[in-house]
Amino acid sequence: MSLVAFCSDFGLSDPFVAEVKLALRRHGPADLRVLDITHEIAPGAVAAGRWVCARIWPQLPAGAVLLAVVDPGVGSERPAVAAAAGGRFFVGPGNGLFTGLAAEPDLQVVRLVRREPPLAHLAGTTFDGRDLFAPAAARLAAGQPLRDLGTPASAAELGDAPPEAPCAVVWIDRFGNLITNLCRDSAAGRRLAAGATLMVAGRPVRGPIQAYADAAAGELVWYWGSGGTMEIARAGASAAAQLSARTGLVISLPVP
């Protein structure tokens, strides 16, 4: 069974997600299935899209295609790319969404060649998700080789990402938990693992706890989250609200 995992900043109010799925169906194998990752990435928020892609792709089965469309430069000269790494495929704009793949030893990248005439009566240059990326993702799902989709390219075509602080908030979830980029198995992560109280926005954050239930009501705590990185929560409430935290907040770590 072929799987296309699909994330975007299209939201769920417009018919755009469905139009991409219809294009996948039009160009893909009969048994193609689509898994929505999220379509609520803020409009044009490439950094948020990059985080979603980095979190989800290691959970995809071998052979799956990750179609990611957060594409404020649609119609410009930004490259359109497909890539293969770690047994999965990737399709989207080369604007930094897939920059995390650059470290993968088996990375292959092509620059997509625009082959499809868009739907006859719907010609346009603003919907590459439907008209360019979906046909490419569908072909990969059907087993067509990566090299047939375009011209060989380097990892640089995936685009750049700004440097990140060692411990910064990269996502705030529905529960108001702050998800950071600090990996449990990094050197800094291992130093923290024995226990440390962090100061965030002037308030102490105790950790690591093993489960939310180990926190007192209203207490701020940190723990190793379900993505393998450090998270900060407030028991039974929103840490983001209490700390007025936003994505990008840098958290100071104790001096080693």
Provide the minimum distance between the beta carbon of 152 and a second copy in the complex, in angstroms, as a whole number: 25
Q: Taking CB under 8 A as the rule, does residue 90 contact a second copy?
A: no
* Alpha carbon distance 2, 120 (integer Å): 28
Nearer to a second copy, 19 or 157 (CB): 19
Count the Cβ atoms, other than its own, within 10 Å of residue 42.
13
| Spatial CA neighbour of 16 closest among 33, 46, 32, 40 | 40
Contacts of 35 (CB under 8 A, 6+ apart): 3, 4, 5, 6
Write the single-letter amino acid at 239.
A
Looking at beta carbons only, is 180 or 252 nearer to a second copy? 180
- Do residues 76 and 94 lie in contact, with contact meaning Cβ atoms separated by under 8 Å? no
Reduced to 3 states (helix: H, G, I; strand: E, B; else coil), residue 155 is helix
Residues 126-145 that bind a second copy (CB under 8 A): 126-127, 130-131
160 lies in the binding site for a second copy (CB under 8 A)? no
Q: Examine residue 218 and tell whether it contacts a second copy (CB under 8 A).
A: no
Q: How far is the CB of 6 from a second copy (least distance, A)?
A: 9
Options 152, 204, 236, 248; binder of a second copy; rule CB under 8 A: 236
Q: Least Å distance between CB 34 and a second copy?
A: 9
Tell me the per-residue interface mask from 34 to 73 with a second copy, x by CB under 8 A, - otherwise. -xxxxxx--xx-------x--xx-xxxx----------xx
Q: Which two three-digit tokens encode residue 217? A: 């009501």
CB of 121 vs a second copy, minimal distance in Å = 5
Which of 4, 21, 81, 150: binder of a second copy (CB under 8 A)? 21
Distance, CA of 171 to CA of 39 (rounded, Å): 15
